[in-house]
A and B are shown apart, each in its own frame.
Chain A
């Protein structure tokens, strides 16, 4: 039984390690800023801006990768100038992530690329719901097998009939 608990303890440590790695990955590469936060903080470095393209504002040569539009956050919106690779997923009423820099002098966000949708909550939810019940079930079964062996040994049922 002790070896069972040791094995599962080891697995638990590995699981924690994996969660830390995933969290770091998310923080470093995938976290986003809303237009409101951006205007408040006025960051100088490159950021990932998250919002929705306002209907009826998308103009320019979209297919060629040169467009201006308004990006809506919850309450604040910001004018965006996009210049980059021909966008695959730029349309009105689209929620998206823009990678670029905020230019406070003319209130325009200069975007150089469009990031892919993150929706990380769904990903984490699916992994937790998919794997945790399996782990709990397997642990319960292994433990019960161990207990049954002990019971059989203790009650001396295995001695000759």
Chain B
């Protein structure tokens, strides 16, 4: 490899890495500083957010889930302990989606104050144990889920 080629290589690699870092810094953190909004924040959205695709994270309210009988989809509620928002979802929810557990949904907050989503991501906690222990009521130390939402 000649000296000129090497120089080109240095420039290309610096540009590649620099570009990637800038993309990460501006493209993802610049536009939405948080990875997801909480239901309280979504409730306070102004009308300019209605057409924006956003992510909301919260806990699925116990007993709020209702699946449609005629097609694949469901409605449920997400809460952060202070505010609760209704969510309509089209599709098959992921395996780990469960009432009383965390979920991050992607979609649009509509002017009817309803969140419409077609992507649910299930959040799981950091405690791991076999089902026998869980049924025996063993509790392992873990971070309070509501705290992970507002940090």
Contacts and interface: CB of A to CB of B under 8 A. Distances in A.
A and B touching (C-beta < 8 Å)? yes
A117 B68 contact: no
Interface string A113-131: 0001101000000000000
Interface residues on A, range: 10 to 19
B131 A93 contact: no
The DSSP consensus for interface residues of chain A is: loop
Contact of B131 (A52, A55, A91, A116): A116
Given A89-B98, A93-B74, A117-B95, A56 B131 contact: no
A64 to B, nearest CB: 14
Contact of B67 (A89, A92, A95, A117): A92
Contacts of A93: 67, 72, 74, 92-93
Interface in A100-124: 116-117, 119
B10 interface: no
Contacts of B67: 55-56, 91-93
A81 to B, nearest CB: 20
Interface of A: 52, 55-57, 85, 88-89, 91-95, 116-117, 119
